[in-house]
Amino acid sequence: MEKTIAVLVILCLLMPFLSAEAIFIRFDMDKNDAVSLTALDVGEGWRGHFREDAGSYRIAVLDAGGKEIDALEFEPTFILLSDPPQPIDYSTQSFRLNYSDSADALVITHEDAVIFRKKLPERGICSGNRICEEGENAFGCLSDCRPSPEMFEDEYDLGGLQAAPAPFAAMPICLGGAVMLLICAAIALYFLKLRKR
């Protein structure tokens, strides 16, 4: 029993180091490869898709030197799955890719031709006080800063950010934190059972 407790305590201590950062990207694209970014967020988590991806489109997170941090291939569909199936004008795509602080750009290609490129802004330090302060921005601190419409245009203008949580900040990717909480709760329950004996 003491060994089990020791292992659980060690796992609790290691959880922050085992969790990774992921970038969440959502965009609409039409049949002519026009891309409109609708959501961009960085949070705790892991890549959200299998490595056995395939398709003529590719989305990649690049560092300043153009080296891929993470990428995957995909194939959009422009058919609404209804009865009967109907063609649609655009397709909404959502991806979660591995992220690191060296990330510089997000690139989408179709058969090796770049159809979308977005320079990623530097991330600010997030105080979590729901006030968008100097050094914070919506890219790295959605709990404090609301994204401005300019965030989703070709260049970022971080001067227009206002205090308020963003709609997709309410659902952070916190798998590591949730697992850590469950492990700590299990340890606490175990100690309560031991105390009752």
Q: Exposed/middle/buried for 25, CB within 10 Å: 0-12, 13-18, 19+?
A: buried
Domains, the chain: 2-120+166-196 (2.60.40)
Overall average pLDDT of the 167-182 stretch: 53
**Element housing 35 (H / E):** strand 35-44
Tokens of 118: 């977005």
Q: Stretch 53-65: mean pLDDT, rounded?
A: 90
Least confident of 73-87, 125-139, 158-172: 158-172
Report helix angle 175-196 to 2-18, nearest 10. Answer: 160
Say how far residue 193 (Cα) sits from the centre of its chain: 39
Q: Alpha helix (H) ranges present in the chain?
A: 2-18, 175-196
The pLDDT value recorded for residue 22 is 80
Residue indicated by tokens 């004996």: 197
More confident residue, 126 or 100: 100
Q: What is the pLDDT of residue 172?
A: 42
Q: What is the DSSP letter of 12?
A: H
Reported as a pLDDT band with limits 50, 70 and 90, residue 56 is very high
